[in-house]
Amino acid sequence: MHTILVVDDSPTIRRMVRAALAALPDVTFVEAESGLRAIEVLGMHPVQMVVLDLNMPDMHGLDVIRFLRSHRQYRDLPVMVLTTRGDETSRQAALDAGASAYVTKPFMPTALLSAVRQLLDAHVTRGR
């Protein structure tokens, strides 16, 4: 069983992500509406992946990634950035901070599903 943390300040986007990933077998979802709440949720739920927006109230997504990468238990956790920011500077900043993948909104559900599958498969393979 895999648990994916979906972090976005928009409830609509969180629902869209869950719907796009519903085809994944044995996956459950936990959600957070902000960066700080995401860190709280991580302390309560073991997750195998994070889908993270960049622009959120209280804590920017890049700061969430930096927090994760600075803690041993989250260092290898796959983090997919899902954002409206399609510029190369934002993409590079996210990858430099430690993002595993970068996807822009609006997204194609099949492309999101494929990217998440790849990250989960790689994470499971590395963990063996």
Q: pTM of the full predicted structure? A: 0.94
- SS3 category, 47: coil
Mean pLDDT of all residues belonging to the chain: 94
pLDDT in tens, 50-71: 999 999 989 999 999 999 999 9
- Domain boundaries, given as residue ranges, for the chain: 2-127
Strand partners, 27: 2
Q: How far apart are CA 55 and CA 34, in angstroms?
A: 9
Q: How far apart are CA 118 and CA 85, in angstroms?
A: 22
pLDDT in tens, 13-48: 999 999 999 999 989 999 999 999 999 999 999 999
CATH topology of domain 2-127: Rossmann fold (3.40.50)
